[in-house]
Amino acid sequence: MLGNVIAVLCALASALVVAWGTVVRHRIALRARGNVMRTAMRNPRWWVGTAAAVVAYALQLAALAFGTLLVVQPILVLSLMFTLPLAARYAGRRMPFHEVWWSVVLTVAVAVLVVYGRPTPAESADAPNHWPSALLLGAVALLALGGAGWYFRQQRALALGTACGMIYGYVALLAKAVVDAAVADSLWSVAGNWKLWLLITLAAAGTVVQQYSFHAGPLEHSLPAMTIVEPVVAFGLGYWVLGEQFQVSSAAGWALMAAALVAMAVATVVLSRSPVPASTAVRTA
């Protein structure tokens, strides 16, 4: 019980830091001229926003050390709810009623998934090895999204946002696997583990893809896909690869869980398409 409480608190802190860093880096990326990454890296505020992302990721790892992927990921979605008031503050305006309403919906949906679902780790350590097929499927999907972003320029922000969400879904899976290995054995034992190095590679790739998705268009074009694809991919991988499960057995219970997941997705899309973050991006830093 105490472990779940710590996991929830760390995940909430991570979501708050992610929200602030997202607003800062998006404002810089949207105004970039020429090479996006080079321009961003010349701005000290980009480094502050990137440092915030590192802190947020450390908090996420701490949350994963105490809780399951199915507990941590829904809470991280709340970063969107935190992004809106921060963006509104930078824009010098108040959040409209519909944003407050959908923020409440998002919070309730996450609470249902975490509190009612009560996710648990895999019951057996001898689960089938689905890592090769999961990684192959992810590579194919990312190549397809990259091709779509290249050929359909008007949908590039959406394609890159989706790819970024998928990358971070795999990052969450790898992070949970690495953290569990470190807790079970030692930190030094995972230094030579391929999962750790793939985790580092994908985390770096996700940062670059996110920056280009921000540059490709307004935040509401990329953020909905980015925010909702990550937990959905992480959910699926948690079930498929790690064998995590919700403690729900009745048909009514699963119907409630499905309704909460749909509500979370709808609230995420509605909130992400708010014009407030986009208006924030064009203000002077």
Q: Convert the pLDDT of each residue in 168-207 to its tens digit.
A: 999 999 999 888 888 877 667 777 789 999 999 999 999 8
pLDDT band at 220 (very low <50, low <70, confident <90, very high): low
What single-letter amino acid sits at 245?
Q
Calpha distance 3→64 (Å, rounded) = 10
Note the pLDDT of residue 36.
Answer: 63
Calpha distance 96→98 (Å, rounded) = 6
Top-confidence range, 32-41, 45-54, 93-102, 245-254: 245-254
267 has pLDDT over 70: yes
Calpha distance 113→259 (Å, rounded) = 10
Note the pLDDT of residue 33.
Answer: 65
Instruction: Tell me the two tokens of residue 107.
Output: 């919070």
pLDDT band at 125 (very low <50, low <70, confident <90, very high): low
Average pLDDT of the residues in 208-227? 77
Q: Who wins on pLDDT, 90 or 151?
A: 151
- Find the helix or strand (DSSP H, E) in which 136 lies: helix 131-151
